[in-house]
Amino acid sequence: MKVYFPQATSHTEQLVPLSSQKQEIEKRLGRKLTGEETGLPLHIVKRDVTPLGYVVARRVRGDSGVIEVVLALELEGTLKDWKVQRLREPETTANFLRSKPFQQMFVGKNGKTEGLNFPLPQETPTEAQKSAQADRKSTRL
Q: Read off the pLDDT of residues 48-78 as tens digits, 9 standing for 90 and up.
A: 999 999 999 988 888 888 899 999 999 998 9
114: left (phi over 0), alpha (psi -120 to 50) or beta: alpha
According to the model, what pLDDT value does residue 141 have?
A: 46
Predicted pLDDT of residue 118: 65
Q: Are 41 and 60 in contact (CB under 8 A)?
A: no
Residue type, 50: T
Q: Percent of the chain, pLDDT > 90?
A: 41
Q: What is the pLDDT of residue 132?
A: 84
Higher pLDDT, 89 or 141: 89
- With 0-12 CB in 10 A as exposed, 13-18 as middle and 19+ as buried, what is 100? exposed
Backbone angles phi, psi at 124, to 5 degrees: -65, 120
81-117 pLDDT, tens digit per residue, is 999 999 999 999 999 999 998 888 888 888 666 555 6
pLDDT digits (tens, 9 = 90+) for 33-55: 877 778 888 999 999 999 999 99
Torsion, CA 91, CA 92, CA 94, CA 98, rounded to 10:
130
